[in-house]
């Protein structure tokens, strides 16, 4: 079953970090249903709305969390949705 959640990312890394982050987000584009970014002078914040299976959501946050210059937090709801949604 798919779950719905939010992933918050604070980006304080250099351009290389941002490029790696973009690659990861592209790799997981199938579970990202919404994205909002707020640019700031020294750090940027990104909020992702995600929908997918627990294992895939964990893989996304795990890969992002291993990148230097990113701080990642996620909150998954207990709401489960079927594949037809």
Say what percent of the chain tops pLDDT 90: 81
The kind and range of the H/E element at 54 are helix 54-65
* C-alpha dihedral sign at 11, 16, 20, 26: positive
Between CA 77 and CA 6 the distance in angstroms is 8
- Which CATH architecture group holds 2-68? 2-Layer Sandwich (3.30)
Tens of pLDDT, residue by residue over 6-36, are 999 999 988 899 999 999 999 999 999 999 9
Is the Cβ–Cβ distance between 51 and 60 less than 8 Å? Answer: no
């Amino acid at each position: 079953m798919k779950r719905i959640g939010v992933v918050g990312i604070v980006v304080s890394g250099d351009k290389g970090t941002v490029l790696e982050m973009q690659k990861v987000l592209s790799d997981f584009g199938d579970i990202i249903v919404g994205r909002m970014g707020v640019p700031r002078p020294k750090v940027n914040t990104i909020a992702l709305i995600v929908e997918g299976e627990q294992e895939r959501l964990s893989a996304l946050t795990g890969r992002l969390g291993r990148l230097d210059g990113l701080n990642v937090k996620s909150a998954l709801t207990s709401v489960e949705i079927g594949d037809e949604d």
